[in-house]
Every structure is written in structure tokens, then in C-alpha cells.
Structure 1
Amino acid sequence: MQSNDPAIWRKNLPWPDANTHKHTRGRLGVVSGRATQTGAARLAARAGLRIGAGLVRIFCPPEAAAAIAPSIEAIMLTPFSNAEALAREAEQMDAMVIGPAAGLDDLTVANVNAVALGGAALVIDADGLSVFKGRSDDLFAALDRDDVLTPHEGEFERLFPNLLEQGRETAALEAARRARAIVVLKGASTIIAAPDGRAVINTNGSPWLATAGSGDVLAGMIGGLLAQRMDSFDAACAAVWMHAEAADDFGPGLISEDLTEMLPKILKSLWKES
């Protein structure tokens, strides 16, 4: 399997020019959990903004707004009361991240289905995956080829029982085929697989990523690139590589909040080489 390398996707990274404004750089939405579960959405939203999305908006249950509002600045905030309202509010988004700390209940299922009705490319992570345990076909029916699933091995097993017994590479490719979407199978050597058979293995993984919230940051990074209309497979490959590079550059003491602040240096190096 080919190693993930900037040579694969660098030329497709979205860079602004003199005529670019925030709306042409793409609009990313992130769905938050309840009032005591808002940190994951804030991590994802900041990562999406930092990686270049021109406008980022957090969608949250009404009771979570007071918890989120004091901690954001450039990121916008929109409360929603039910799945139908979320679908309406998210209509103008180019990409959506849903799942981090969303909750393992039918409301999360309804919210995933609601955002899937729109035209936004989806990044589905964490609870947005686990909640479909035993009913993965319901999730797959809502997806299209622009969408990205980002499971670690536990979440992968819930969606694709026993598939990992075939080995990670085979499992990721078969999962992408079944889901008809991009699959990012996270781990020490993350595998990115597409339903058309493309696949790469990430070899710059960092042990410093073993910290709470790092997956939320990755979901936001992928979402930010999707919002800028980068091809979903390339976006996943680029985000995974930059995510690991950021962790390795920072080193000991890393917490997830640090990952986003390392991105400007990495983006600048890629921009100069493009």
C-alpha cells in the first residue's frame, strides 16, 4: 500500500488568492453535543477555521449556547431545537462535522440523517459512528462518496463487526466499499481508503496524539478542507498527515488544543513548496 505523502495531495490544497473572500473559502458547520459536552465541537470548529475554512459555525442544542458563546470569537453559533431545524440551519454549509460528543441516542441518529439530506460533505466521527452499532446499513444509506467516516478501531468494529480480522488494510478498503464513502481507520498507522479502491497508509504517526480530543481536531481539519471543496480522499490524506506532523513538531506535553496552533507553520511550508 502506498505511503501517505504530501506529493500525493499537495498540488490540490486550496489556497486563497487576491479575489478570495470568506464565503468562497467555504463554510463549515460543526454540530455540538449538550451543555456539558461542548469541548469536542469547539476543538473541531477551531481546527476547521485554522486550516482555512472561511466561515465556521457551531450548531448546538439551545441549552449549550451559554456554555459555548463565551469561548469562541471568530466562530459563529446557532442553536437548533430539533433535527428538522438543524437541517434548515445547515442548508448553506459546504461541509459538516457531526458526532464528536454528540451522545449515543436517537437524537444523534436524527441529526446525522438531517444533515445528510443537504448538499454538504459530511465528516462523521465518534458518537456519530457508534450510535449506528447494529444498524450500520441505516448510516450507509445516508452517505455519498464525498462523505468521510473517521473511526478508531473500536468504532470501526461497531460498524463493521469482525472485518478487522482480515487485517487493517483489507478491512479499510472493504469498509469504504460497503459504506460508499471515504474511511479513515485511525491508529498508529492510519489508513485512508476510498470506495474506488484508492488507499494509503500514514507513516508519520506520532505517539503524542494519544490524548483526549485529538480525533476531534482531525475531524475538524478534514471538514475545513472539505468546506474548501478539496477532493474528499485528498482532504482526508492531507489532514491526517498534517495532524501527525503537528503532534510530532510539538512533542512532549501536547494537548489537543496545541494541534491547531501548530498548523500555520505546517501550512506555510506546504504553501511554499506548492
Structure 2
Amino acid sequence: MKSEARVIEGGPALRDRLAKRPEAHKYDYGHALVLAGGPGRGGAARLAARAALRVGAGLVTVVCPVAALAENAARLDAVMLRGVADMDDLVEELADPRITALCLGPGLGTGDETLAQVTACLGAERACVLDADALTAFADAPETLFAQLHEDCVLTPHGGEFRRLFPDLAAGLEAGAMSKVAATREAAARAGCTVLFKGAETVIAAADGRAWISDARGDRGAPWLATAGSGDVLAGLVAGLLARGLAPHEAAGTAAWLHVEAARAFGPGLIAEDLPEALPAVFRALGLQG
């Protein structure tokens, strides 16, 4: 009988994960690469990139098709930008050993090109968060995705994406035959990596069966997270923490906790762009000095 899932709480352990050393350099905190879609579809990737930078990744780069360079350049400053013309260009970008984490999915599209991009990124064997379109693209053959995943991956499905990848588990959950914790644990075991199953009760499970809950109900309610783009921000938070070197389950759990706290700090009227900007107040409340 597995133990119950632990509830994620703020405190010294979480604060220590986020702290930066006074003598550190930006390269000590990793380089996150966020893959973006074509023209008109870059907003989600930009949200993720901003979140990754705000949560403390030393550097963040958005990689997009050449045709989308002008659009993204107009909206990015501290986040760097690279254009790729084809898969060869993407593979060249992925070969940079300074890249420590990847964020795939927000605004990426769900066609064959996305399948090829995800396959190339997973082959680079870097810490990786897969969200949104990077999950939906494999809806017809989830086993194809599972075969490529490695232990440094984090999947971040919402209910619909979870159903596409794990239809039997979703059916059991909807029928009341299993709890969300049990379903997420089984999903993580099947995928062989960490799964963050989003919702008002977000459940994070590692492949070895450990599980955590980030609850955004009751006294910790954050109904303002029900807004377009908030999931893209969460994916970016996970990617930024992976880039910094946190273990996948720690990155996922810490990101989920910060996501709720940022929403609570900002309050009513929140839109996704506000979430990264609310993080400094959350960090100060935790007592972070660096």
C-alpha cells in the first residue's frame, strides 16, 4: 500500500531550493530553451520563457521559425531569440552543451513537424518539460511518446491532455474507480517520468510512486488561475527550475506551489502575463535574500 501524497508547503526547504549564492554567475543557473510555433502563435512560448527567466534560470532563449523572428523580437528583451529554418538548424541549436533544460509545447502546433521536433528534443537528453501541443500531438499513439521519454522529463497535462495520453486512467478517474493521486501515479509509472496533472488540486507523481499535492482550494484558493496562458506560465516555471538543476519532481512541485502563490499575491483581475511579475513578492515573503 503506497503512502498518501504529501502536500507541498512553503518553508525553509522550498526557500533553499530557490536561493541564489551571492557570488554566483548567470551561467551557474542554467540555460532554458523554449521552442515556439510559427507566426501568430508565439505568445504561449513567450509566456513560458518569461516565467523561466523570472524563476531564476540564468539565461532563456526562445527558438522559433525564421518567419516568426520579427514578431517575437518585438516582444522580447532579456529573453534571447534564435531562428531556425529547418530540423537541421534545430538539431544544431540542441547540440549546444550550455542548454540545460527544454520547454516544448506552448503554441507549437500538433502536426508532423511537432512530432519531429519533440523527437529531436528528447533525443538531446536534456531535462525537458512537455506541455500542451507537445502532448496532444501524440494523442493517436501515446506509446510512441512514452518510448522516447527519459527520467529527466516532466509532463504537465490538464484534464483533456491527460485523457488523450491515458484514456483508461481518465475513465477510471471519471467513474470514481480511482483517485487523482492514484491515476497520476500510474501515469508516471507508465511514462517513466514525472507527471504534473493540473487542476485546482494539482498532483505531481514521480515514476517511483512518490506523490505530492499542490492544492488551490479552500484557504489557498486561487480561482484567478482559470485564465488563458496560465498553464504556459507553469510550464515555463518548471523549465526554469529544471534549468537551475532541480530534480524533475522538485521542479514540478516547486513550480506548482509558486504558480498558486503568485496568483494569490496578485489577486482578482489576474491574467497570465501577471504571474511572472508577481513572483518577486512571493520570493520576498519566503525570505529569499538572493
CA offsets, 1:217-239, max 9 Å, x none? 00000100000001110111011
Moved more, 157-166 or 83-92: 83-92
Report the TM-score, using the length of structure 1 for normalisation.
0.96
User: Partner residue of 1:121?
Assistant: 127
Select the residue among 53, 78, 81 that pairs with 1:49: 53
Q: Secondary structure at the match of 1:30?
A: strand
Residue 239, structure 1, aligned to residue 255, structure 2: yes
Select the residue among 89, 98, 106 that pairs with 1:85: 89
The answer as to whether partners of 1:9 and 1:238 remain within 8 angstroms in 2 is no
Matched residue pairs, number? Answer: 274
Q: Kindly provide the amino acid, as one letter, of the partner of residue 167 in structure 1.
A: S
Moved more, 48-57 or 1-10: 1-10
Query: What aligned pairs does 1:129-208 form with structure 2 within 5 A after superposition?
Result: 129-164=135-170, 165=172, 166-204=178-216, 205-208=221-224
Shift of 1:271: 4.2
| Structure 2: unaligned runs, 5 residues or longer | 173-177
Residue 222, structure 1, aligned to residue 238, structure 2: yes
Q: Kindly provide the amino acid, as one letter, of the partner of residue 240 in structure 2.
A: G
Distance 1:110-1:9 versus aligned 2 partners, 3 A rule: farther
The answer as to whether partners of 1:9 and 1:234 remain within 8 angstroms in 2 is no
Q: Kindly provide the amino acid, as one letter, of the partner of residue 247 in structure 1.
A: A
Q: Distance in 1 between matches of 2:282 and 2:200?
A: 20
Q: Distance in 1 between matches of 2:247 and 2:86?
A: 31
User: Partner residue of 2:175?
Assistant: none
Query: What aligned pairs does 1:11-50 form with structure 2 within 5 A after superposition?
Result: 12-50=16-54
Q: Secondary structure at the match of 1:256?
A: coil
Q: Kindly provide the amino acid, as one letter, of the partner of residue 86 in structure 1.
A: L
Moved more, 249-258 or 8-17: 8-17
Shift of 1:270: 2.5
The answer as to whether partners of 2:39 and 2:68 remain within 8 angstroms in 1 is yes
| Structure 1: unaligned runs, 5 residues or longer | none
Q: Secondary structure at the match of 2:215?
A: coil
Shift of 1:44: 0.3
Moved more, 215-224 or 132-141: 132-141
Q: Kindly provide the amino acid, as one letter, of the partner of residue 187 in structure 1.
A: G
Q: Distance in 1 between matches of 2:236 and 2:71?
A: 20
Report the TM-score, using the length of structure 2 for normalisation.
0.90
Q: Kindly provide the amino acid, as one letter, of the partner of residue 85 in structure 2.
A: S
User: Partner residue of 2:269?
Assistant: 253
Q: Percent identity of the aligned residues? A: 45
User: Partner residue of 1:103?
Assistant: 109
